[in-house]
Amino acid sequence: MPRLNAATRHRVAFTLNGKPVSLEAEPRLLATDALRHGLGATGTHVGCEHGVCGACTIQIDGQPARACLTLAVQLEGAAVTTVEGLAPERDRLSVMQAAFRRHHALQCGFCTAGILVSLDAYLREQPAPSEQELREVLSGHLCRCTGYTPIIRAALEAAACLRGEPLSQPSDREPAHV
């Protein structure tokens, strides 16, 4: 039974966006700080540090997770995806990222990393989400800039695009308010 002593640092190894990484972590180190300070992966943002804002959302083995509610030592052996892992290659945006840009679904960008990572996980589970379903997924994220409407629009369009449906003419249709 491995016991990791509070006062010492322990090697934690996992894959980050497909690449093996490791760092030295005290048991109390949060995954947010492990990523940002330990590995320099600052794409994952930190807002509230108690699970409310969603800015720190990452994927652990393909499932969404609050990095601020995860200990670095809990990442041992896991496959971690962060916003840095969403674009298919350097200088090319993912379908969702491109839709965010088209629809102005971000302003300051503080919330964006977490939202993109959430939506990426959710669309794998539900490729044809309703607007209501997307709103429920977004209820796990706080955005103080956009009012969410452009985020919903971008997500619906990106989902359609990922299903192989032709891009409808950029519509002015406001999603119905629920």
Partner 1 sequence: MKPAAFDYIRAGDLSEALDVLGRHGSDARIIAGGQSLLPMLNMRLAKPAVLIDIMGIAGLERVGREGDLIVVPAGVRQAALMKRPGLAGEQPLLAAALPWLGHYQTRARGTICGSAAHADPSAEIPLCLVALDGEVRLRSRRRRRSVSAADFFSGMMVTDKADDELIEAVAFPVAMTGTGYAFREVARRHGDFAIVGCAAVVTRDAVHLAVAGVADRPQRRSFPPLAGSALTDALNGFAWELDARDDFHATARLRRDLVRSLGQSTIGEAQRCLA
Tokens 């589970």, located at residue: 125
114, 69 Cβ separation under 8 angstroms: no
* 49 vs 84 by CB, closer to partner 1: 49
Cβ closer to ligand FES: 152 or 164? 152
User: DSSP state, 167?
Assistant: P
**Residues at the contact surface with partner 1, assessed by CB under 8 A:** 1-7, 26-28, 30, 33, 49-51, 54, 57, 60, 63-66, 68-71, 73-74, 118, 121-122, 135-137, 139-141
Rounded to the nearest 10 degrees, how much is the dihedral formed by the CA atoms of 33, 39, 40, 45? -40
Measuring CA to CA, which residue among 116, 109, 163 is closest to residue 137?
A: 116
The amino acid that residue 44 corresponds to is: T
User: Which of these, 51, 73, 70, 46, lies nearest to 59 by C-alpha position?
Assistant: 70
106 binds, among ligand FES, partner 1, none (CB under 5 to 8 A by kind): ligand FES
- Asked if residue 35 binds ligand FES (CB under 6 A), the reply is no
Nearer to partner 1, 63 or 168 (CB): 63
Q: Give the nearer residue to ligand FES in terms of CB position, either 11 or 144.
A: 144
171 binds, among partner 1, ligand FES, none (CB under 5 to 8 A by kind): none
